Amino acid sequence: MKAKMIPLFLLTVLFTFGSCTKDFLEKSPPIGVTEENFYKTEADAIAAVNAAYAALQFELSPGGHFRWFWGDIMSDDSEKGGSGDNDVNELLQLETFQGPANTDLLEAEWGANFQGIYRANVVLEKVPAIEMNGNLKARILAEAKFIRAWFFYNLVTVFGGVPLVDHTLAASEYNMPRASATEVWDLIETDLTEAARDLPLRSEYEPIDIGRITKGAAQALLVKTYLWRQNWVAAQQTAEEIINSGEYVLAADYATIFTLEGENGPESVFEIQYMNASGGNWGKNNANEGTFTNVFQRARGQFEGYGFNIPTQDLVDEFFDGGEEDPRLEATVFREGEPMGDRGVFTKEATGQPFDYYPKKNFNNKSEEAPFGDPNPNGGTNDRVIRYADVLLMHAEAAWHNGAEEAARGSLNEVRLRVGVPVINASGDALLQAIYRERRLELSMEGHRFFDLVRTGRAVAELGPLGFQQGIHEVFPIPESQIQATNGALTQNNGY
Amino acid sequence: MKKYSLLPFLFLFSPLVLFSQFRVSGTVTDETDGLTIIGANILVKGSNAGTTTDLDGRYELDAPGPDAVLVFTYIGFRTVEIPVDNRTRIDVVMQVEASLLDEIVVVGYGVEKRSNISGSVSIINSDEFSETPILRTEQALQGRTAGVQVAHNSGSPGSALTVRIRGVGTINNSDPLYIVDGIPVEGIDFLNPNDIESINVLKDAASSAIYGSRGANGVVLITTKGGKLNQEGMIEYNGYYGMQSPWKMINLLSAREYAIIQNEAFIAAGKTPRPEFANPDALGEGTNWLDAIFEPAPTMSHQLTLTGGSERSAYGVSANYFEQDGIVGGAKSGFERATVRFNTNHQLKKWLTVGNTLGFTWLKRQFLPENNEFTTPLVRALNMDPVTPIRKADGTYAYSLYADTDIVNPLNAIEQTHDTWRSNRLVGSVFAEIRIMEGLSVRSTYSLDATYATQNTFYPLYDLSNIPELSDAPGGEKTETNSVAIGNNTWRNWQWENVLIYKKQFGLSHDFTFTAGTTALENRHDYSGGANTNLPSNDPEDAYISNTIDPIESQSSYQGASESSLFSYFGRVNYGFANKYIVSATFRADGSSRFGRNNRVGYFPSFSAAWLISEEDFWNIPMINFLKLRGSWGRNGNDRIGNYSYSTLVYSGQNYTFGPTETITNGSVSLVSANPDLKWETSTQTDFGLDLELLEGQIGLIADYYVKQTTDMLYAAPIPLVAGTDPPIRNIGSVENKGWEFAVFFRNRKSALKYDLGGNISFVQNRVTSLGQGGDPIPSGRVQSANAFAAKTEVGHPMGSFFGYVTDGIFQSQQEVEAHAFQNEGTAAGDIRFMDLNGDNVIDVEDQTYIGNPIPDFTYGLTANVEFKGFDLGVFLQGSEGNDIYNSTVRYDFTYVNRPVSVLNRWTGPGTSDFEPRANLNDPNQNARISDRFVEDGTYLRVKNVQLGYNFPKALTQRARLSKFRIYVSAQNLLTYTNYSGLDPEIGTIGGTLEMGIDRGFYPQARTLLGGISLGF
């Protein structure tokens, strides 16, 4: 071989691959769909928004963060319960307002809501580019907006201002600081307004879509938002749109609302769907279809529950305040000697615990449990988040503030008449107090009380004896772990 | 003038020179014993013509002329060049080469004279381990070289060993890169150790950086045997047969003792003891389950090797059959391997050499569950109550009335296990090397590594019930249905490599070598399998998926594939000045499909330098014949990060229920954000070393100090929760390993008593230096008896350190319990006192701390080989110092299982024990929680091998036309010195890098006694 052939040889050897190296090094996973290859079809769009719905079901992943932890246990309606003070002791600390900022419970609440926001943001970013039926696309985007608003609503009411994550975050944005509560409320209001505009009425959905977010749900959450923002006019107006839509009526029998047959009933406005499904492994992998509320709220001992969320004597007494027992009490709490469905008679011996009352609205019968002997105690009870009765009472409250006492009394008494208690004819502050009291009787143990007290400025009066301090305990502490994880980009709430 | 006068003379004689053959003959002998040398090489300098000495040490050669020069070479002897000088008889006495400095050593993409290496390379020649029967190649590394820590992951035949070069480099895959004859291979269980010529370990970054993104955990270069040019054909047979047995037994409670403890535990828990245990003495000794599961197990090997070479061609052919049964389960954990190897090379033209390597391996391995607390025969034997007999009166296996779920009759479980892995693997290459001009050559190699493997599993139908109709046996002792599963795997890897080497000497003192090349390789793994239940036959021979009575729909199946590719440029420049100063620089660019789009190509440089002080003119210490100082710096990577870790998949199953009948409706989202920046883990290493030889190579010392920083370590560190996704795997962690290594040898090969003593010791300090922002500690080592993690990897600590409570004796009285921090509601006298480290008067998770380190302070090996008058004695010791073991073999989470004999010294009243707590069924104090109670010193010194052999004198063997006849006996793991209470202190890493030193019912290594024979024709 001649020396002058060397360069030629070298070139051949070294650059044989030069031209095709790029392709040669491109290997995509043969199994599974990468994000780049997804979000192409209508089915992909539906699957994307369904994944956002799935986040509504998160209760134990990451960590326990039930809605009733905050709405009920933190209020004067119920106390922690469990097997003793050490059973989820952090909950006891929080409900006595000595709450540490480093509890897993708040971290779970924080994380789960942002997981839901991420999933809604994915829909809002990916679905617009998909070629598909325009109406369906608009609906899916509106569903995602509601879902995003719902998670921000949870965050702003529990924590106050939070990072305004209105898009999927790049790694460089993880240390996003907190926005003000006003900015968060603005986003919620915008999302809900747009969602209400594009969502179908409940009656416009096919039966197969029962459980999807409706125009009424978006409007109802918007009413709540307006109440928090004391925009009474918009609140009353939006509530009246729901009332006038003719989509909802109060269920004839109050007690049936909380039974399996009562799910997605005539007064159901926003209900998180659960089913008695196997698997889910304690809510891990975020792939659980059942609720753990059932087992957590059932009495211990032979009732095979964990005995949390124990109604207080103060709550029970409220039902007797008018002299006679309000008929709604029987649907709200179990009292000693009463049968607990098909699980036996409630005695303290049978529960092994000293509590006088147990919550009833999320009780499930043994016969309703999954037949497959799943060791994970999934329950099937839907979470009635917004009922029509709530809408009516919100309407009453807003109307009162607008000076429309007649309208206020009308809605209030519609709720009272359903259970056959005397109508209220009061006016002025007595009427407002009657509306407040009605909310407690009608909606107790459904996760509203603490937030109602804070929203209406009554928290210090009612919860002060439990340790509530004005200007501090309206919101909970930002999880300490998240302040550390963001190198202090997140700031702690006042007083913590 | 002279020139002119010579010219006609040469001209005149040149035809004669060309055409006349000048015959030379003679005998080659060994200077030490005066005996002839068989197989010495004689070559005419500057040509391929040559021959070897015959069985009588004689040779005959046609030299091209009376002024030719003959080169005599023989392994272990100094090469001599002798001018023929018109002689027809030349007898040569060869001198022993004491120093190995002139040895040619394989380095990355080339060879180098040992004395000229400026990096840190350990060299293990086959003669160091060929006389020791070993099953796996990794064993040849254990204890034989400094800086390489090797531990058995299990004593079951054929199981992989953990190999760590210079510490544990990452929390992820820390295995070194194995290159066999230039072919990168995943796992070296296919290699027959008898086929290996040499193993070279590239330890520092400068040596391994030429392997770029794959070199971070060190590189092991393995060269297999081939023939040599001009070598007379050689036939060798090696065979051995041996028996293995356990080297240690643990005392277990007798049935009587078990009943006494159980009775006490019942009473302490406020329960009535079992009536059948009312008279413990009546129960006697009971069953020793450990005795029952062990059995003597045979092992054997047959190896046939043929080598030879002509002037232009050389070949090596070998065949081997190896078989080893396990000391637990016999053939149920047995290993069989058959290998065939065929290596050749041919000098086709003056400028062209072609050749090949080809190895085929068939292996079959049968598995018993290993190293877990649930299903291993060991854990079952240690925890099974001694009251239960092995068999019922009718001869069938009995079940226990007391032991819990996992703890079933281990002998039945072994019998019902049918789990077999069969693999066929072909690893081969072809190459062509072109000599373009003096000093310049190009070599192109194409290689293929193809594996076809199948795993067959059969779960038979059985029922240990006393009365089958009642099906009274517990769940673990019977099956409702039988089932079969099969898994098929195909790995196909190819590589094409082109290397150009240019060697040039400028002037007298400037030596220059330039190496450059490219590599392209592609790996593909295909897998598929299936399973089915309800086979009409319960015979494992009939276990095929199609042999079922179930409908075809009940079959399950899966299939998938995974691919990766790599394309690289690499180069090296070596420059030596006057044999005194050597500098070398390497560079590699690796493009890999495994790296994210933003980091698809990585660049890896290195530099090294050496100063051979002993070559300096001013050197005047004749006792020190060689002294070299080395220093190197380099950077390389670890590309074992998974094939698609940078991409993100959309996961379905994120469901919600809609509709009146609550229909589960699919939802899909990606749960992890993609990381297009994902890349290799980077390792940067600085090394300083010294090579020293005294007394013409009779004494030697190699010392190294290194600091190895792993950065960009992959870790899915938690990210702020606002992201809403699980954390992606990112290049964020870092680990530091630093340490000293020393190797010494003393050898004398020049007298009748030849000896060769060697020792090496390695000190490593491992420390995690970062786990990224918010880098939470990583828990690992889940221990079932405490239902908690026993280890933790945290910044500032060694990886996988044990983490738990600190014990502080036993509460001797209730007053002591009350005086101490609150532990548990039911804590009472006789329970363990745990230290209240944070002084808050409550014993809780805040009182846990670091309680042990599974990484040894140092590991060492010692070898001694002595030869005298045909006898040879070899002793090999290996040890580990300062490593801790977490003993997790006892199932404290179960109430009625057996306990270690230490429970006999339990607390029974004030002053009775300050270590072993009271017996109590419920363990209200959680005495079994993760604590230093279960951390033991894992230090050991093991006599790995002792061997005595005898070489029959040549006078005898030559009469039988044999070149070699040796017999030997050998004992492996003859003695072990350790304080560890478990079955074996040599505990590797099972289930991931961070699972170090946790004994979950380890399959112990066997003590083997064997005898063997070597024959050469």
Amino acid occupying residue B548: T
The mean pLDDT of B402-413, rounded to a whole number, is 88
Per-window interface: A 319-378 vs B, CB < 8 A = none
pLDDT confidence tier of residue B10, bands split at 50, 70 and 90:
very low
What does the mean pLDDT of chain B come to? Answer: 88
Under the banding of pLDDT at 50, 70 and 90, the label for residue A69 is very high
Our CA-based measurement puts residue B416 at a distance from the nearest CA of chain A, in whole angstroms, of 28
User: Does B591 score more than 50 pLDDT?
Assistant: yes
Chain A with chain B: Cβ pairs closer than 8 A: 200
* β-pairing verdict for B663-665 and B656-658: antiparallel
CA–CA gap between residue A255 and residue B835 (Å, rounded): 55
Whether the per-residue pLDDT at B285 is higher than 70: the answer is yes
What pTM did the predictor assign?
0.80
pLDDT at A397: 98
Instruction: Give mean pLDDT, residues B478-498.
Output: 92
Query: What mean pLDDT do residues B154-175 have?
Result: 85
B9, pLDDT greater than 50:
no
Please give the pLDDT value at position A16: 54
- pLDDT (0 to 100) of residue B729: 84
Cα of B476 to nearest chain A Cα, Å: 19
With 50 as the cut, is the pLDDT of residue B645 above it? yes
DSSP secondary structure, B681-750, as one string: EEEEEEEEEEEEEEGGGTEEEEEEEEEEEEEEEEE-----GGG-SBPPPEEEEEEEEEEEEEEEEEEE-S
How far apart are the CA of B527 and the nearest CA of chain A, in angstroms?
A: 12
Q: How many helices (H) and strands (E) does chain A have?
A: 20, 7
**Dihedral angle sign, alpha carbons of residues A13, A14, A17, A19:** negative
Say if residue B717's pLDDT is above 90.
no
What's the pLDDT score for residue B563?
A: 93
Please give the structure tokens belonging to residue A4.
């002058």
Q: What residues of A are in contact with residue B568 (Cβ under 8 Å)?
A: none
Q: Do B664 and A111 touch (CB under 8 A)?
A: no
| pLDDT tens profile B866-916 | 988 889 999 999 999 999 999 999 988 888 889 989 999 999 999 999 999
Contact B567 A21 (CB under 8 A): yes
H-only helix segments in A127-209: 134-159, 181-198
Which of A118, A154, A483 to substitute to test the interface with B, most B CBs within 10 Å?
A118
Q: Is B560 on the interface with A (CB under 8 A)?
A: yes
Structure tokens at B680: 């290799």
Q: Domain-by-domain residue ranges, chain B?
A: 21-94, 104-227, 369-407
A264-278, B73-87, B558-572 — which is least confidently predicted? Answer: B73-87
pLDDT by residue (tens digit) across B295-343?
999 999 999 999 988 888 999 999 999 999 999 999 999 999 999 999 9
Q: Tokens standing for A302?
A: 């032979």
Residue carrying the six token digits 């179990």? A334
d(CA B714, CA B728): 10
Give the end-to-end CA distance of chain B in Å, rounded to a whole number.
56
A18 contacts in B (CB within 8 Å)?
A: none
Structure tokens at B831: 């329970």
User: Chain B residue with minimal CA distance to A490?
Assistant: B720
Q: Do B563 and A27 touch (CB under 8 A)?
A: yes
Predicted confidence (pLDDT) per residue in B367-391, tens digit: 998 888 889 999 999 999 999 999 9
Q: Are A27 and B644 in contact (CB < 8 Å)?
A: yes
Residues in chain B closer than 8 A to A168 (CB atoms): 673, 724
Average pLDDT over residues B513-526: 94
Average pLDDT over residues A411-432: 96
Closest residue to A1, CB basis, from B351, B562, B663 = B351
What ipTM was predicted for this assembly? 0.92
Maximum mean pLDDT: which of B105-114, B553-562, B694-703, B931-940: B931-940
Q: What is the pLDDT of residue B990?
A: 72
| Mean local confidence (pLDDT), A444-464 | 96
Q: Do domains B21-94 and B104-227 have the same CATH topology?
A: no
Separation in Å, CA of B354 to nearest CA in chain A: 16
Distance in angstroms (rounded) separating the CA atoms of residues B310 and B348: 12
* pLDDT > 90 fraction of chain B, expressed in percent and rounded: 52
3-state secondary structure B767-805: EEEEECCCCCCEEEEEECCCCEEEEEECCCCCCCEEEEE
| Whole-number pLDDT of residue B480 | 82
Nearest to A50 among B500, B655, B660 (CB): B655
The token duo for B865 is 């080989």
Which pair of structure tokens corresponds to residue B925?
Answer: 């104090």
**DSSP H or E run through A109:** helix A104-126
Stretch A25-51: mean pLDDT:
89
A115 contacts B724? CB cut-off 8 A: yes
- Among the CATH numbers 3.30.450.40, 2.60.40.1120, 3.30.300.130, 3.40.50.720, which is that of B21-94? 2.60.40.1120
| Segment B841-854, tens digit of pLDDT | 989 888 999 999 99
Chain B touched by A117 (CB under 8 Å): yes
CB contact under 8 A, A25 and B592: yes
Measured CA to CA, the distance from residue B779 to residue B786 in angstroms comes to 14
For B569, nearest residue in chain A (alpha carbons): A14
How far apart are the CA of A146 and the nearest CA of chain B, in angstroms?
Answer: 16
pLDDT of B33 higher than 80: no
Chain B stretch 724-753, residues whose beta carbon is closer than 8 A to a beta carbon of chain A: 724-725, 728, 730
* The dihedral sign for the CA sequence B996, B997, B1001, B1007: positive
Note the pLDDT tens digit of each residue in B522-576.
999 999 999 988 888 899 998 898 887 776 666 788 898 999 999 999 999 999 9
Whether B98 shows a pLDDT value over 70: the answer reads no
What confidence category does residue A339 fall into, taking pLDDT thresholds of 50, 70 and 90? very high
Task: Using CB atoms, pick whichever of B567, B644, B657 lies closest to residue A211.
Answer: B657
Given pLDDT bands bounded at 50, 70 and 90, which one contains residue B622?
confident
**Shortest alpha-carbon distance between residue B722 and chain A (Å):** 5
Q: Does A122 touch chain B (CB under 8 A)?
A: yes
Name the residue among B629, B639, B546 with its Cα closest to residue B600. Answer: B639
* Pick from A25, A57, A285: CB nearest B565: A25
Q: How far is CA B1005 from the centre of its chain?
A: 15
Q: Are A211 and A263 in contact (CB under 8 A)?
A: no
Looking at the complex, report in whole angstroms how far the Cα of residue B108 sits from the nearest Cα belonging to chain A.
18
pLDDT at residue number B413: 94
Sign of torsion, CA A425 A429 A433 A438? positive
Cα nearest neighbour of A285 on chain B: B654
Residues 588-627 of B with CB under 8 A from A: 591-593, 600
Whether A295 shows a pLDDT value over 60: the answer reads yes
Whether B499 contacts B515, CB under 8 Å: yes
- Chain B CB contacts of A487 under 8 Å are 773
Specify the pLDDT at position B202: 92
Distance, CA of B862 to CA of B761 (rounded, Å)? 9
Domain B104-227 has CATH 2.170.130.10: yes
Residue-level pLDDT at A375: 46
Surface-to-core class of residue B512, CB atoms within 10 Å of its CB (0-12 exposed, 13-18 middle, 19+ buried): middle
Confidence of residue A5 (pLDDT cuts 50, 70, 90): low
B663 touches chain A (CB under 8 A): yes
- Per-residue pLDDT reduced to its tens digit, A232-268: 999 999 999 999 999 999 999 999 999 999 999 999 9
Q: Is the peptide bond before A62 cis (omega within 30 degrees of 0)?
A: yes
Query: Looking only at Cα atoms, what is the longest distance across chain A?
Result: 115
H/E stretch holding A219 reads helix A215-228
**Minimal C-alpha gap between B473 and chain A (Å):** 22
